[in-house]
Amino acid sequence: MLFAKIAQFTCIGLAAAGVYSFVSTARDGETRRACTPLCAMRPDYAARNRQAPDFELPKVGGGTARLSSYRGKTVILNFWTKTCRPCLEEMPSLAALAKAIAPHPDIALLTVSTDESVEDARETMKSVLGGAEPPFVVMIDPEFKIVRDTFGTKLYPETWFIDPQGIIRARIDGGREWNASLTIDLAHSFDDPLQCGVQFRDRKAEGPFASICGEIAPTN
């Protein structure tokens, strides 16, 4: 009788350990899935404690655009100027990204130029994109009131990711060859019920799950 009870408790313990191991493995897998886009993109900054300041600027094509009117979407906000070579070099891949997100109404790509006028920005875009009109919104901030004074940008290009609730989630400094599928995955991850808990400062992962980034996308 005693041996039977011991065997029963042993079986229960092993079963509980098995269930815990399965749940733990599944949770680890979900965390890795949620963190993969952020770890792979390796932004200069990533957190979720800053509300994006609202603004309204004139745009190429006429009228104005206001950041808050895109609430409910993940906004990819890019700052550039015509005298910035990396800005112009990344524009074709930004245009390709804009076309790739067209089927994703929950993502918006906006850019802000600090050039002197709407016409100046339009001509720069046409030159860089082979005469084509930009497939994304281009706004003008010639006095640097938004780019420099509000967002604090001093070097270009700089790209911000703002989630559907208007929270700044990531910032990438410098030009990138924008990988459309990875960027789209990152944008979607900000509205995922299971969100990545990793933060970035100076392109270094921080927080209790930071080691995941080292495994997913190790630094060279």
Q: What's the pTM?
A: 0.85
Q: Is the pLDDT of residue 12 over 70?
A: no
Question: Which of the following CATH numbers is that of domain 26-216: 3.60.110.10, 3.40.30.10, 1.10.10.10, 3.20.20.70?
Answer: 3.40.30.10
| ∠ Cα 148 149 155 (to 5°) | 15
Q: If we measure between CA atoms, which residue out of 43, 156, 148, 41 comes closest to residue 89?
A: 156
Window from 105-109, 147-151, 212-216 with minimum mean pLDDT:
212-216
184-195: pLDDT as tens digits: 999 999 987 777
Phi, psi of 192 (to 5 degrees): -80, 135
Domain boundaries, the chain: 26-216
110-140: pLDDT as tens digits: 999 999 999 999 999 999 999 988 999 999 9
Whole-number Å distance between alpha carbons of 166 and 202? 22
Give the pLDDT of residue 194: 75
